[in-house]
A and B are shown apart, each in its own frame.
Chain A
Amino acid sequence: MHEMALCESLRTAMEEASRAQNFSRVTRVRLAIGAFAGVEPEALRFGFDVVMRGSLAEGAELVMITEGGTAWCFACGTTVPLAGRLDPCPVCGGERLVPNGGTEMKIKDLEVV
């Protein structure tokens, strides 16, 4: 359940942005979540509701945009698109792959008042 900690980071980031950008309330948050970011969307949604209570983003809509993953294939020596962590390389069928894209979780933008 490190999703709670992620939501707390998200709240802090929004609070900092609210001072820098001069807004008082967030009505919608859009997150870009990589396929290999290690985040469970449902756990994040639950954590979001709990952590945002009483904050500038209480009741805000949470939109999660999933971004596709890529991985370095040690057999091909190249970056390939990869849907699942344990999938074989779509090019050569190799199994030794390390994700190198879609590993991040970013705040894309906020709708604010």
Chain B
Amino acid sequence: MCVACGCGSDAVTLSGPDAAQASQGAHSHSHESVPHDGAHHHGHAHGHSHTHSDAHAHSHDPGEPAQPQHSHAPGLDARRMVEIEQNILAKNDGFAAQNRVRLAADGIFALNLLAGPGAGKTTLLVETLKALAGRVPAAVIEGDQQTANDAERIRAVGFPAVQINTGKGCHLDAHMVGHAMDRLPLPAGGVLFIENVGNLVCPAAFDLGEDKRITLLSVTEGEDKPLKYPDIFQGADLVLLTKADLLPHLDVDFDAIAGNVARINPTARLITVSARSGVGFAEWLAWLEGARRTRLEELARAAEQRAQALRGVVHTAAE
């Protein structure tokens, strides 16, 4: 069991690029690089809770009494009610918040890539990394149920990658991503790409701590996919319509795809790309660099405000 956060016994494994740790076997991971000064308090949900006794009448939803069932003798029956009012995803959201703090501290711009299997996530990443090489530092977290194939494809183009194998798991969660981040060299100001498990349903519910969410849809998947799987499109900042080089060979109604994306997510940007022909790549890279710059400026402004506030404290103390 992991002492720092109590995790363990699950079927998730991490591999590469930290070979020393990878050799320790399944689910080994390090917390050494993380300061234990509060930055790594795993997200214990702080939902308020309180108890009340059997005798306490407290009406809840219609038709569903909040009193313990069979409590005919208040005070004698050991059963009692505990109100929690806590989001079930609170724990994941807590880990996501920690990831976000860690990423923000070093100005790392993180992207969560979502799509069904075969939409072209890894191919897009490989071509994107080639375009960024020498200009923007980047690292990749790859999520799949099995195999390290995708991480190997990323390393082959010269970028560090950690493979998360979720076993039977159908999505990445923020806890797994936090541990994968422990293993990666994350250069300040760089980009972290997180390729989620290929799945159009489950990953949508799990915040990983990313800055932006990108959903990929390949032109062969059918115009009505956004309507069939709205959740995965709903939270996207950008929708990439991939494999555009195939369009001349298909009877695909592009306007119908664009209309369906806009219906589910009216604020998402839609860019048509082909990793093969390079169509739309300049536009995609411009979006990426623009979003990264905006995030870095936001972080810089926040740091300046904090610096000013601290100087103000020093000034007041000196008076």
Residues of chain A touching chain B, judged by Cβ–Cβ distance below 8 Å, are 1-2, 5-6, 9-10, 12-13, 16-17, 20-21, 23, 27-28, 30-31, 38, 63, 65, 74, 85-86, 95-96, 98-99, 104-113
Contacts and interface: CB of A to CB of B under 8 A. Distances in A.
Interface stretch (B25-33, B155-163, B261-269, B299-307): B261-269
A9 B83 CA distance: 17
Contacts of B173: 5
A21 B82 contact: yes
29 contacts: A2-B171, A2-B205, A5-B170, A12-B91, A13-B84, A13-B86, A13-B88, A17-B49, A20-B49, A21-B82, A31-B88, A38-B201, A74-B266, A86-B230, A96-B266, A98-B266, A99-B234, A104-B87, A106-B86, A107-B84, A108-B61, A108-B85, A109-B60, A111-B68, A111-B82, A112-B80, A112-B82, A113-B79, A113-B80
A85 B232 CA distance: 13
A86 B169 CA distance: 28
B78 A5 contact: no
Given A13-B90, A96-B263, A108 B84 contact: yes
Nearest to A86: B227
Interface string B57-70: 00011001010110
The A contact surface, by secondary structure, is mixed
A101 B61 CA distance: 17
Given A2-B202, A13-B90, A38-B204, A111 B84 contact: no
Contacts of A86: 227, 230
A10 B80 CA distance: 19
Contacts of B78: 113
Contacts of A111: 68-69, 79-82
A95 B264 CA distance: 8
A95 B259 CA distance: 10
B66 A109 contact: yes
Contact of A107 (B44, B61, B86, B262): B86
B170 A98 contact: no
Contacts of A27: 68, 79
A112 B78 CA distance: 8
A30 B89 CA distance: 15
B170 A1 contact: yes
